Structure 1
Amino acid sequence: MSKVREPKEKDEFLYFTQRSVYARGDKRRKTWGKTKHKAKVWVFKDEPETANVKYFCPYCDNKDAKQTKWKKPFKFKCDKCDKTIRVPKLK
């Protein structure tokens, strides 16, 4: 897909979240400790089926950005290690 678009104003996107992401089976998921692995997801009003994602992979420590199909529950694959990253608690 095309390059990730950054939002300029808060009223131009339909959905936005910034969450901590964990490797599957990671015990830190149940604690309140800080993690460096995060995913920032936003969906623009003019492109409601495309999610823009900036992420820091919990499996391989790859920092990257990509566009992918928007669907709940939201998950995407890391471009480097090809593992699935799930973004928790989308409501």
Structure 2
Amino acid sequence: MDYHYPLDLDWSNDEMMDVISFFNQVEAYYESYVIGQHVIDKYRRFKEIIPSKAEEKQIFKTFEKASGYNSYQVVQKAKSQSDEKISNE
């Protein structure tokens, strides 16, 4: 991992850790696999911290530019296959 997470310094340490935890799920999707429901759970917490859709899109875009990982696609797949292992393969 040679990139930084898109974090807001106004967030609490717990909020930063929760956002990183969500992005860790996105990374795991591309690098191995995740359980769809785990992604959904982490995404729900992410949305508590970042309720604005516009801000979410900007953060996702920043993360994708840095990592190459599309968070939106991972969330959509997790929603459609919540009880399954999902991966990029």
Q: How does the TM-score come out when normalised to structure 1?
A: 0.27
Q: Which has the higher contact order (CA 8 A, sep 6+)?
A: 2
Q: How does the TM-score come out when normalised to structure 2?
A: 0.27
Bigger share in strand: 1
Max Rg structure = 1
Bigger share in helix: 2
